[in-house]
Structure 1
């Protein structure tokens, strides 16, 4: 079982309302080059399909009218956290996803700072990834860092 915890200070606690909106509407994923559909506010039981934009941080390229994206798989939202000091959600991957497990995306107010936390517990879900488990772990770490950095960029742009 792979366990990951990525925690990052992403700015002032005053930015929490923007961060709440970003995390509960899949903007966190978009900022890391992940496309989530449907693109609506998260809710328990919601099934979402995920794709990776291989041209990130650029826009999704198109070929003959089709988006060039890499399928990641589907997930189901198991829990939504939305309080005056925390916002986020937990999803579980569905069969066919590249990983098998759960992932949590959370922003929280800690004193006067805003903290982003991305955690996961998973095993490779695809036979090729099982054979290359260290690459899978490194990719998860890279994506967690991209999620947090993307949120930080989004908040910085909104704060200008």
Structure 2
């Protein structure tokens, strides 16, 4: 796997996350009967777009090798999808940073249905600054990553609530 700015490619798929990075673990409850909607929104990058982020990708759906650029304000972050899960009770993907990204590391967005039928959204990431803007941002950069995870959760909840109010 070439082009990534870190060596622990795929490490967001399973715990523990690699040492030497800041770790992010965010989890929020989405509801019941929203798994299919949430999985589709994550895998088609609709969740990201619903946060207000500018998303461009070389495919409509997440798959290993798909390149994604996430734009927030003046910053554009190039990434590549590393892994995808599309199981009956777990779906999502992880993408890794490419040259030009402000950070180095990996971030995963998943939705899971537990044994009780509750649906949970999670963001798991490991990262460290790669460029001056991120280094200068220090604690603000960490806060921004946490806020984006929460924004994704809210966007996903909103998208799935909306889909349940539409008649088939």
Aligned ranges 1:17-36 → 2 under 5 Å:
17-36=36-55
Residue segments in structure 1 that go unaligned for 5+ positions in a row: 55-69
Whichever structure has more strand as a proportion of its residues is 1
The alpha-carbon deviation at position 8 of structure 1 amounts to 0.2
Instruction: Give the SS at the match of 2:94.
Output: strand
Kindly tell me the number of residue pairs found equivalent between the two proteins: 143
Q: What is the deviation of 1:2?
A: 1.2
1:101 counterpart residue number? 105
Q: Aligned-pair RMSD on alpha carbons? A: 1.2
> Which residue of structure 2 lines up, in the alignment, with residue 65 of structure 1?
none
Q: TM-score, normalised by structure 2?
A: 0.81
In the aligned structure 2, how far is the partner of 1:22 from the partner of 1:84?
A: 15
The C-alpha deviation readout for 1:104-133, integer Å capped at 9, x for no partner, is: 000000122110000110012221221221
More displaced, 35-44 or 82-91? Answer: 35-44
Equivalent residue, structure 2, for 1:115: 120
Partners of 1:132 and 1:78 in 2: how far apart?
27
Runs (4+) of structure 1 exceeding 2 A deviation are none
Give the Cα separation in 1 of the matches to 2:146 and 2:105: 15
2:90 to 50, 75, 86: 86
Q: Distance in 1 between matches of 2:160 and 2:46?
A: 11
